[in-house]
Structure 1
C-alpha cells in the first residue's frame, strides 16, 4: 500500500450520531452492551434501563451471570463531571454493585483519580471501570463512520484476576473458546468478536435484552449451541419459550439435529439447545477432537441463528 494514501482520522462527537443521551444513546448502548462487556472482560445479562435506585434512576443495570453480582452502567455525553460521579456512586451503593462502569467521551484527571482510588480502597470489592466511546470518520465527509470502546480506567489487578489462578479445566475452556472465537470471526467477519473467559460458556446478544445465543459445555461430556431466554420475568420467559415451541416441528426439521427444549422449572429462565456429546472433558480433548468440535459449533451456530433470528424479530 502507498502510505501517501493514508488519511487522517477525525473524531465525531456522539451528539452528531445520537441526538439525545437518554433517549438515543442509552437505548443503543443497551442493544450493544455485549461489546462493552467483552471489552472489560465480563458478561452482562438481564440488562434493564432506568432502574429505580431510591429517588433516582440508573441508566443501565444488569447482572454478571457467573456470580449473579449486579452491574451498573452510567453513560454521558462530553467529559466526566461531578454530577455524574455522584450519580454513579449513588447507584453503585444503592444496588450493592460489584461492577461499576462509567461511559463518557472524556475523563477529567480528577475523576480518573477517583476511580483509581476507589479500585484501591473500596472495601466492598466493587470494581470500577472508565470507558470511552469513540466515533471516527476517515477522509471525506461521506465516509462511513467507525465506533470503538476504549478502557480508560480499570482495577489495577484486573488483568491478573482474569488470568490467574486457573484450573486445568478453566484453562481448557479459555483455550477452546479462544480458538472458537477465531474460527467464527473468520467464518462470519461481521460478528462482534468476544473475549473468552475461563468459563464453560460463551454467549452473545440475540438482539433482544435477556435473550442470548451461546456455546455451552454442560457437565463433562456435552457441548451445545443454544438460545438462553431470561427477559427478567418468569411468565414472560415462558411466553417467549412457548412461542418458539409452537413452531417446533419446522425448527427441528430445518436444523436436522436433535433439539432439546428446556423450561428449567427450578429457575425462571428457559433454554433451547442443540447438544452434541464430547469424547472427554474440555481439558482432555485432543487437537483433532477440539478442531472437530469447533467446526461443528461454527456450522451449527450459523444454522441455529438462521432458524431462530427470523422468529426473534416477530416477538
Structure 2
C-alpha cells in the first residue's frame, strides 16, 4: 500500500464556470448541486425559478425552503462588491423573500459587516447569509466544490436547525402527522410513476406548493381533511396578480376546454392574490386505503395544470394588459 500523498490545490472558479448567468447559475440550479448548498445551510431548498426580473436586474435563483418561505440566491464568481450588495437589497424588497443567500469568491470585510448588520437590525424571520465558494482538486482527480458560511444570523447553526426540527416533530398533532404521511406517500407515488413534477419536501401541513417558472405564481395542492376536499389551485400573488389574472382570463374558455372541466376563477380584489382552482369533493383523507386512487387524481390534475398553464405563465407580461378592457370582463367569484 502506497503512502504517497498529494497536495490539495484550489482551482480558479472561472476555469470551471466561465460566466455566472450562463454557467454557474444553471449548475447551481441542478438538484444535486442545490442539495450541496442546502446541506451546508441545514435547509431543504427547492428551485422555484431562475433569472427572475426585478426592476432593471435579474435575480439568479429563487427557491422555496421547507417551511414554504422564499429564498433568494445571488451569485458572484468574484470578490464581493457594492453593486451586488445593492442588488441583494433590491431583490429582498422586490421579491418578498425571507432569506437572502449571497454567494461569492471572497467576502470583503465591509460587505461581511453589512450582512452582519442586516441580520442584527431585521426581524428574526428574515435571514441573510454570506457564502464563499471554492473548488478543490488533488492531483488529477475530479474537482470538488465547497461552500463555506462566512456570514449568518445570530445564533444560527445547522445543529440549532436540526434540534428545532426534532422538537417540532415531537409536538405534531394527529392531523399534522396524517398530512405529513399523506404527502410523503404522494412524493413516493410520483417517483414510482416517473412524474417530472418537482415536489418539495413533505411537511405536516395542508398544502404543497409546486413552482411553475415565474415568481409569485405557483400551483398549490391542498387537502382539507375536515371538509373532505382536495383542491388543485393556481395562485397568483404580488402587485401584478390582478393584471396576470385578467390576461389569463382572456383564455378562460380555451383553458377550461384543455383542462376538461370548468375551473373556478377567483380574483379576490384587494388581497393581491388571485386563484384559479379545481375541487374534488367527498375525499376522505383519513381512509388510507383510498390514498393510491387519491394520489392518482392529484398527479393527473397537477400534470394537466402544469401543461395548460406553464407556457401561458411564462409569456405573461403586465404591460400587455389594457385597463380599458377591465370593465369588459364579466364578474367572477
**TM-score category by the smaller chain?**
0.5 to 0.7
Matches within 5 A, 1:116-265: 124-125=123-124, 126-129=126-129, 153=149, 155-156=156-157, 157-163=160-166, 164=168, 165-218=171-224, 220=226, 221-230=228-237, 232-253=239-260, 257=261, 259-265=263-269
Deviation string for 1:10-65 (max 9, x for gaps)?
xx9875787543x54698599989x959953367879954469xxxx794697979
Q: Within 2, Cα distance between the matches of 1:150 and 1:91? A: 25
Partner-residue secondary structure (3-state), 1:267: coil
Aligned to 2:102: 102
Q: Within 2, Cα distance between the matches of 1:88 and 1:170? A: 40
Q: Within 1, Cα distance between the matches of 2:195 and 2:305? A: 17
TM (norm. structure 1) is 0.61
| RMSD over aligned Cα atoms | 5.2
> Structure 1 stretches of 5 or more lacking a match?
1-11, 136-147
Partner-residue secondary structure (3-state), 1:306: helix
Change (3 A) 1:223 1:311: same
TM (norm. structure 2) is 0.59
Aligned to 1:270: 274
Distance apart, 1:297 and its partner CA: 1.0
Distance apart, 1:188 and its partner CA: 3.0
Aligned to 1:139: none
Question: What is the number of residues matched between the two proteins?
Answer: 276
Partner-residue secondary structure (3-state), 1:196: coil
Aligned to 2:321: none
**Structure 1 residue corresponding to 2:44, chosen from 30, 41, 50:** 41
Give the conservation status (yes or no) of the 8 Å contact 1:244–1:311.
no
Distance apart, 1:247 and its partner CA: 2.0
Partner-residue secondary structure (3-state), 1:159: helix
Deviation string for 1:203-239 (max 9, x for gaps)?
2221233322231125732211222223641342223
Q: Within 1, Cα distance between the matches of 2:134 and 2:186? A: 28
Q: Within 2, Cα distance between the matches of 1:133 and 1:193? A: 27
Give the conservation status (yes or no) of the 8 Å contact 2:235–2:273.
yes
Higher radius of gyration, 1 or 2: 2
Aligned to 1:7: none
Aligned to 1:290: 291
Change (3 A) 1:86 1:262: closer
Partner-residue secondary structure (3-state), 1:206: strand
